Structure 1
Amino acid sequence: GLAARRTALLKELGREIGSKTYVKNIDISDPVPAQKLLRELLDEMGGADLIVINSGISVTNRDFRAEPELETIAVNVSGFAAMMNVAVNYFLEKGNGHITGISSIAGIRGAAPSPAYNASKAFVSNYMEGMRQKLSKTSISVSDIRPGFIDTPLIEGHEWAFWTVTADVAAAQIYGAIRKKKKIAYVPRRWYFIAQLLKILPEFLYHWGYNRIVRGQEGGKDGK
């Protein structure tokens, strides 16, 4: 089963997969209809053992306008929680299952270019940890996948992005983590070590590093 706001690429993916696929147009920025549509998709498929929730938009908001912040929260927070609610209740009825949510390395600390995006990904990781605890006495697994920088249009123009991996490499590592039902997985794996450092780094050092790496690169670009 494949679902997204724009379904053209999903239909193309379905043709590449070869086996029968079910495609549903779901806009999670409107959570109540989205919940109904996800449940319809599950019924049309005849059931599922795994639900992957990858709800994420990122808007650079240097002028701190309200619209990008609210849109990001609507999709990445409210939309994610709505899909998670359907997935949890479906697997509780079924008796078992596996839920995988895609958060981000960005959820570890805040960042100036898009405060709402980083905060929304922190919500996703925290929310999944809470659900993992809530479901600990059931046969439902919850995995939190935390990607770093993936070579997609989303990071175009970000010269400071490092440890970038191709979409194929990321997909292979995500697939492996899902197969193993890992509670938390960083993609690529080496981000685990940076994540542990970021968690304990004092704010003044974090801001110093950010200014040196990110703003330094942006300044160099602007000066060309």
Structure 2
Amino acid sequence: MQKIIIVGATSGIGREMARLYAGAGHLVGATGRRQELLYTLQLEFPNHVITECFDITGPGATAHLESLTRKLGGLDLLVYSAGWGEIMDSLDWAVDKGTVDVNVNGFLEAVHFAWRIFVDQGHGHLVTLSSIASIRGNRHSPAYSAAKAFQSTYFEGLSIKARHMKIPLYLTDVQPGFVDTQMAKGPGRFWVAPPEKAARQILQAINRRRWRVYVTHRWWIIAKIAKWIPSWLYHRIG
């Protein structure tokens, strides 16, 4: 039985991952800002879900994570599923700041918390849900693309660091395409996957200790195209 914390488990992919892990008999620590949604998740799996209601960008986030870890009796896997961004025609400081607070500052706090535990105990697994949007800049939400790129690049660096430490400390960067959640915004949506399908594929990647995975799997095609399309063309159509 693994002891798992999912940051951002009130809805969407994070909630479905919590349900899958709890249903498989693991002990899940679910976090989020909406107490009523955490409560319904705990009611569904009373023996396998423990909750802690807090904002990962607020004061005392690490203290909440420490409290949840004590309740779980340890930590084997931390998933950072919290994320936020908005589509904007013009720059909005409040939106950009909120995007960075969740996707960079909150992300860093959770990752540093888990990293210390995993290094001390000599094993662990860190997972982040970045985005296919991390690959290139995006005029509709430049801060979101940049913040998700930070997550992916940071995880690549930590993955290399962990490999050199020669301990079983694994990292998985999940880059979802469109999933049918509140975060699926913007024009021209396609290949929209249900959260349940996305969660199942993510769990498979974690079990296989993949360091990067595209969800659903066919989004690797878009990733390859986005990486190699010439800038002069991308700037015309992006």
Regarding TM over 0.5, the answer is yes
Q: Is the 8 A contact 1:26 1:38 kept in 2?
A: no
Structure 1 residue runs of 4 or more that deviate by more than 4 Å after TM superposition:
none
Q: Is the 8 A contact 2:80 2:129 kept in 1?
A: yes
Other-structure match for 2:75: 48
Other-structure match for 1:180: 208
Q: Is the 8 A contact 1:173 1:187 kept in 2?
A: yes
The answer on 1:154 being equivalent to 2:169 is no
Other-structure match for 1:99: 126
Q: Normalized against structure 1, the TM-score is what?
A: 0.88
Q: Which runs of 5+ in 2 are unaligned?
A: 1-28
Q: Which has the higher helix share?
A: 1
Q: Which runs of 5+ in 1 are unaligned?
A: 211-224
The answer on 1:2 being equivalent to 2:21 is no
Other-structure match for 1:219: none
Higher relative contact order (CA 8 A, sep 6+): 2
How do 1:60-209 residues align onto structure 2 when only pairs under 5 Å count?
A: 60-136=87-163, 137-155=166-184, 158-209=186-237
Instruction: Report the number of matched residues.
Output: 208
Other-structure match for 2:85: 58
In the TM superposition, residue 178 of structure 1 has moved relative to its aligned partner by 1.2
Q: Normalized against structure 2, the TM-score is what?
A: 0.83
Identical pairs, percent: 36
Cα separation, 2, equivalents of 1:147 and 1:3: 21
- The letter for the 1-side match of 2:168 is S
- The letter for the 2-side match of 1:146 is Q
Across the aligned residues of Structure 1 and Structure 2, the Cα RMSD in angstroms comes to 1.4
Cα separation, 2, equivalents of 1:163 and 1:195: 14
Cα separation, 2, equivalents of 1:18 and 1:181: 28
Cα separation, 1, equivalents of 2:195 and 2:112: 28
The answer on 1:14 being equivalent to 2:42 is yes
Largest Rg, 1 or 2: 1
Cα separation, 1, equivalents of 2:112 and 2:234: 35
